A and B are shown apart, each in its own frame.
Chain A
Amino acid sequence: MPIIINLDQVLADRNMKSKDLAEIVGITEANLSILKSGKAKAVRFSTLEAICQALDCQPGDILAFSSPAPSKGGE
């Protein structure tokens, strides 16, 4: 998936544990783990807002876009 989640990095910078973030944001640790591992298919704006508020950061600090590598054989 070309969307990369940098939540681990931001959490480490803030010296915050996943458990604490999950509690502040109001989501389960399992769901936060899904988000961190990149398995999530979508993120609600309300969740993103709560995470940004809790970590005092911008959505761009957590999410990044990486264009997929071009397939072989192309010109």
Chain B
Amino acid sequence: MNLNKLFKLLIDLAFFLMIPIVVFFPGTILYILIFPEQSIINVNIPFTSTGFGGKALLFTLAFFALFLLFFFGFYQLRKFAGLLLKGKLFSKEVVLCTNKAGRFFTTCALGSFLFVGVNAILTNSGKFSITFGSSNFNLLLFLLIVGVLFLLLSDAFRKALALKEENDLTV
């Protein structure tokens, strides 16, 4: 299988798996807010064990906003994969897509670091937590690296586009 096709397939798979979360997240949270005594849905958001207070709502909104940033980043990545499949590697659209994807991923990672940090401070019980294997911190750091990498890629594509235009206009 062509690598471009595999890339687009993987991106599409991840993108379509994310759509239900984006669509159903607000409704689910609304359901929990309306029926705080419900026992059907178990959410993994801090401060929701004792009901849905202001702190929990704040964290929920922050969680959703960060997820939206990640989702929009993936949307740009999907556009980029589509352009790759069409063979439009050196085009203004690719420069724009990679730049937007980089900005979304970087903002999402930085915001998540803040989110995780604030959560750690608020829930600190005087103990250090060490995670063996791939921890949230490592994954967030990786997301930040991916975001910066996309910004670098965008810059590289912009330079490549200028060189291609120059080459095309060389007689």
Contact = CB atoms under 8 A, between A and B. Distances in A.
Interface size class of A (residues with CB under 8 A): 10 to 19
B3 interface: no
Interface stretch (A11-19, A30-38, A52-60, A66-74): A30-38
Interface in B107-154: none
B164 to A, nearest CB: 11
Contacts of A43: 170-171
B166 interface: yes
A35 B170 CA distance: 9
A8 to B, nearest CB: 15
A67 B156 CA distance: 33
Interface string A14-53: 0000000000000100011011000111111001000000
A15 B22 CA distance: 69
A17 B171 CA distance: 18
B13 interface: no
A44 B171 CA distance: 6
Contacts of A31: 171
Contacts of B171: 27, 31-32, 34-35, 40, 42-44, 47
Contacts of B166: 41-42
Q: Most chain-B CB neighbours within 10 Å: which of A39, A40, A47?
A: A40
Interface of A: 27, 31-32, 34-35, 39-44, 47
